[in-house]
Amino acid sequence: MIPNVIDRIFDLFERFGSLYYGEDATQLQHALQVAELARRNRCSDALIAAALLHDIGQFMDDAGNAAETLGIDARHEISGAAFLSPWFPPEVTEPVKLHVAAKRYLCAIDPAYLEGLSQASAISLALQGGPMSPEEVRAFEAEPHYGDAVTLRRFDDMGKNPNWRVPDLSSYRPLLEKLLLAPVHNS
């Protein structure tokens, strides 16, 4: 029997969603806003799900985003994609895995993007390796899902308003269930 991973995801948001990650919005507000930006821009269901779940790796160590606030790159994009990959297709998990690399990429190719980073994002950029080298840029552009990762990254940067009201987490359950690789059984 397959456990209900969506219930587990919702539980993680319940436990850690009220935490702040160096921006004015909470983790949950941020996730919902990034997903809403993807929805409003008529992105695919998979990219909307990736937008909602892109920072789920922040919750994997039972400390929310504590590692990065302590000056440690916890590689939340990797742990988040690993958590999601048994359940969701690459169209969801790869943009999650690549969204930090997308920030490094954009900083390398667009000086205005680098200048526009929030203070928290600039600090985490340093922890994550700084702007990509020309070789890293070429390798990133060869990734099959790099375009979606860049789109996700741009939404990620915009979803930080503590006063923007968007649909709640439960509104995404049908979309997530539709994208699951295997049927869900309540256990």
Rounded distance, CA 101 to CA 110, Å? 14
Rounded distance, CA 30 to CA 164, Å? 10
Task: Give the residue carrying structure tokens 């269930």.
Answer: 177
> What structural domains and CATH numbers belong to the chain?
5-158 (1.10.3210.10)
pLDDT score at 74: 64
Q: Specify whether the CB–CB gap between 186 and 2 falls below 8 A.
A: no
Task: Give the residue carrying structure tokens 């680098």.
Answer: 114
Around Cβ 134, how many Cβ atoms within 10 Å?
Answer: 9
pLDDT score at 187: 42
Task: Collect the ranges in the chain with pLDDT lower than 70.
Answer: 1-3, 61-74, 182-187
pLDDT score at 167: 96
Q: What single letter denotes the amino acid at residue 15?
A: R
Rounded distance, CA 181 to CA 88, Å? 5
Taking the model in full, what pTM does it have?
0.89
